[in-house]
Structure 1
């Protein structure tokens, strides 16, 4: 039996080799560059020819007043996205689950799912036009109602909410798939028994549907915690500007500006390494919590 299993497993391991080679080259190979965080890196001298400075760049980063502001922005924006996305996706899944006309249900699913496939490069161009303070559709509507025009992408108070709202609009259709799949696993007999007891649709949702998908909710929530330091570089980079750095600048955009605009490669690597270490810890902790609360296992 063991020999037969080994014969079956060998082809599967061979099929894994191309993927492992790609990961080794493009994911683990570049990790050699971590040493830049501990050097005064000079591109002309290479990775191992530059002067070593130890933890000097980490101390410099922690001394910058912008560092704490960037970390705060990252945590605030990520947390807001996590909570709003969770509420909207669950609510949408529950509403779609109540639709009995299959053609209409599938049409709605397709419509809300489509934005997920559009890149932020395309969407940011559309949103910049829609949210324009002078000619934007939204501001034209606000002006028609008698309200004052708002510079959504240039106002530091509005910008975080714009990020959360647009991200939710783009991704909530994709998130509903998980919860719709979870809803199909609930025993229909429970609803039949609830109807016989005179329970309304709201009572059925409250006492059957939500408890039935609670393990999936806990799982998705805990797994999302591991990515809380990823506030969405593509979205922020394509929509923000200097006017909203105080509330919109996140770790990834800070690293980009430090490395490619200010040419401080060592400092940027130190920030990136700091983020990676914290993210690794959060991901490990989230998988442990998911295993304890929802019995989730990677393998």
Structure 2
């Protein structure tokens, strides 16, 4: 009979997810030797190696991968049970784990501020990251709610669009293309184009809808850095209009008038269809869907 404790499950899940004993110990607020001891006891109880270590990199074995899925299921049910009890005792409290795309950070923060005013006893952790890590969050169910542009089509998710997200081209105020009333995609393709890293929602959208392939080696993994690069005259960038409202109003950058632009997309709330949202997460999802457009109009 295989026996294991909750401490062992939490330790193993953290080590596999973070690929490190050190990072797991910091997240769990226990020492690294304590994490290592929990894993060793778990291995002895199961009777099989669960981890493979090469240098500082830790990865699960074949059996470890199977057991990791068990850990995710058990931990998710435990956390859900804990949240349900807390919500029953105090329905206006609870904790939210929210992960958002870098391009959504400014308006999600504003929505959270308003939501917090209505529910002052609730707590939240907001992680701002790139698309790749958002997909990992959705895959391992480590976030209650994800806010992103284009949801992946190959995952079992519940998605809800809640506001328009116009994608525009921006340039330095002295850029020669600004003199034209309208610019063609062909003219744009001759310019130095600055974009997000491969795999980002912005890049995927432009390459698919406009049939454009980026003609430079300039890849930047944050909107703020793209805006700064455009301000410096490095090239033409592509960003959500919501993220450059102040810069446009103050003529720090200019919006280019180009065929097929702006490209209209939507922001979405996204979560796994296998996980039931806690009451506070349900309230926040409804809040951002109902008031998001009004807040940022």
State the TM-score, normalizing by the size of structure 2. 0.23
Structure in which a larger fraction of residues adopt strand: 2
Larger Rg: 1
TM-score normalised to structure 1 length: 0.22
More helix by share: 1
RCO higher in structure (CA 8 A, sep ≥6): 1
